[in-house]
Amino acid sequence: GIGAHEVIIETPDHYKEICDLDSAHIELVIKAYYQRYVDLQGDSRFKYIIIFRNYGKDAGASLEHPHSQLIALPIVPKRAKEELRGAKQYFDYRGRCVFCDIITQELEEKKRIVSENESFLAFNPFTPRFPFETWIIPREHCSDFGHYAQSKDKKNIVELAKILKEVLLRIKVALGDPSYNFILHSSPLREKEMESYHWHIEIMPRLVGVAGFEWGSGFYINPTAPEKAAECLRDVKV
């Protein structure tokens, strides 16, 4: 076994959540994400990096101080493999990136969009596992987060910081400061740009428990329609 586990401390202030920070500060957090991502990518023993944030006890947070985490793994993990495989199957069938198609569909239907700016879209996916599950995705096709953050316009990071702050704030206000996990999904390390994959962030408020049925089946019971959740998140005043 080999790996790396890093903790990204987001602020010296124990009581400031990420959505309370100003946007320029969140840019620095994202910069720390991609600087560590790119640095660790240099170690050929690592095959995948997962960046995530656990907020609140119900989301499994063991430390109170605002922080994100980065774990570098010597293999591509099960869930990432499944997502990559599904995206590849869609690409082979349609000749297009499934995430790009989702973006097009969401922009057409509008009902599930929570927020958008020039570079990013935040929406509740059509088949969410959890109530108020929200994804943030770059409009432009790019499979690798490190590559996107490094090579593209500085503007993109500014826009990512803005939309991340806004969405987390909407979740906090609309749902009464719930526990949540967010997970950055990117392609395996040192893959060439992949036509079939598209990096993104998945935010999962932890409003309902995961119980026997979910463990036994891998299916999720979600009592909240994504259109309803998106409306609620859009309507709240932030």
Residues assigned a catalytic role = 67
Q: Nearer to its own copies by C-beta: 107 or 213? A: 213
Give 23-63 as a DSSP string. HHHHHHHHHHHHHHHHHHHT-TT--EEEEEEEESGGGT---
Question: Within 10 Å of residue 82's Cβ, how many Cβ atoms?
Answer: 11
Tokens 């609140």 locate to 56
Listed in sequence order, the DSSP H helices in the chain are 23-41, 78-94, 98-109, 145-151, 154-175, 212-217, 226-235
Structure tokens at 203: 């935010």
Q: Nearer to its own copies by C-beta: 38 or 50? A: 50
Q: Is 211 left (phi over 0), alpha (psi -120 to 50) or beta?
A: beta
Binding span for its own copies by CB under 8 A among 15-23, 188-196, 202-210, 227-235: 202-210
Binding span for its own copies by CB under 8 A among 12-20, 28-36, 153-161, 207-215: 207-215
Tokens 């395996």 locate to 188
Residue pair 180/171 in contact (Cβ under 8 Å)? The answer is yes
Work out how close the CB of 86 gets to its own copies at its nearest, in angstroms, rounded to a whole number. Answer: 12
Q: Which of 218, 223, 235, 237 touches its own copies (CB under 8 A)? A: 218
Work out how close the CB of 98 gets to its own copies at its nearest, in angstroms, rounded to a whole number. Answer: 18
Q: Which of 1, 211, 223, 235 touches its own copies (CB under 8 A)? A: 211
53 binds its own copies (CB under 8 A): yes
Q: Which of 4, 28, 32, 50 touches its own copies (CB under 8 A)? A: 50
Number of residues binding to its own copies, judged by CB under 8 A: 35
134 binds its own copies (CB under 8 A): no
210 binds its own copies (CB under 8 A): yes
Work out how close the CB of 56 gets to its own copies at its nearest, in angstroms, rounded to a whole number. Answer: 10
Q: Nearer to its own copies by C-beta: 120 or 180? A: 180
Work out how close the CB of 107 gets to its own copies at its nearest, in angstroms, rounded to a whole number. Answer: 26
Structure tokens at 8: 């990204």
Q: Is 185 helix (H, G, I), strand (E, B) or coil?
A: strand
Give CA–CA dist 133/130, Å, rounded: 5
Residues binding its own copies (CB under 8 A): 50, 52-54, 57-62, 69, 71, 73, 77-80, 82, 181-183, 185, 204, 208-219
